[in-house]
Structure 1
């Protein structure tokens, strides 16, 4: 019985390491780099807000997101691409930057915005409606620029131009 418990413990730890892509905290403290970058535009009323968006398109890229980033230029953000439209759930684990999380439907319409998220929080942040894309920017920027639900987001990776 003890041998079985030991085997299961080792198996679970090995599985966790392979799924998380990390063997320990020292390896996981680096933010991801070298993601593709593209122009993204948010149309808000008669205004257009232009951003440089890092594109997170794979499961690994999306799961890492902006973790461990300590700063980000104001007109920069991260665009998360998903295969289909559905309810999306994010969290701020290992993310020292407060963010505005913008949930976007398949047509490019902003569904909802979770503004001023709490750094390092493991609280679940849901989209309020189905979303196919998510765009994260520095906290407070959506309000400052007047970006709100119903506005339109356009970028090449979204297939919307």
Structure 2
């Protein structure tokens, strides 16, 4: 037998059930335009300091068409490391105009070595390790997402 919900209990239940829906609004479709074609990814957005700090830590898997898009709100040199990150990742460093600037392929899980963008970027896309090579992604390719401007802007 289920207990009867009070108005406070109902409010808590409504918040708990609404939480996954709110998390979904922080996702979106991102397209990588390469010489070999267009590749769509479902990405989580990390645009708050705590979200950027946690990133993909503690994840045990990541689908081939999934990733995380970090938005630093301005162009600057950024650095990442793989502390508490359990899966290999490709880090794609992207300018405010949506152009890929640099790529770090197969960052090693749990490695504390700093991985720098080398140049100012606004965005970083993390996808499964080795995936950027599989799709032929190169510096100069373009990234399409509602948050990202385009080279034509």
- Say if 2:97 and 2:149, in contact at 8 Å, map to a contact too: no
Do 2:98 and 2:149's aligned partners in 1 also have CA atoms closer than 8 Å? no
Partner-residue secondary structure (3-state), 1:63: helix
Normalized per residue, the structure richer in helix is: 1
Separation in 2, partners of 1:72, 1:83:
25
Where does structure 2 lack aligned partners over 5 or more consecutive residues? 1-21
4+ residue runs over 4 A deviation = none
The question of whether the paired residues in 2 share the 8 Å contact of 1:109 and 1:149 is answered with: yes
Show the 5 A alignment for 1:73-84: 73-84=63-74
State TM-score, norm by structure 1. Answer: 0.76
Is there any run of 5+ residues in structure 1 with no aligned partner, and where? Answer: 1-32
Does the aligned pair in 1 maintain the 2:69–2:123 contact within 8 Å? yes
Is the CA contact (8 Å cut-off) linking 1:110 and 1:151 kept in structure 2?
yes
In the alignment, is residue 139 of structure 1 matched against residue 142 of structure 2?
Answer: no
Higher relative contact order (CA 8 A, sep 6+): 2
Aligned twin of 1:89:
79
Query: In structure 1, what is the Cα distance between the partners aligned to 2:36 and 2:127?
Result: 21
Which residue of structure 2 lines up, in the alignment, with residue 156 of structure 1? 146
What secondary structure is seen at the aligned counterpart in 1 of 2:70? strand
User: How many residue pairs end up in the alignment?
Assistant: 129
Which secondary structure does the structure 1 equivalent of 2:147 belong to?
Answer: helix
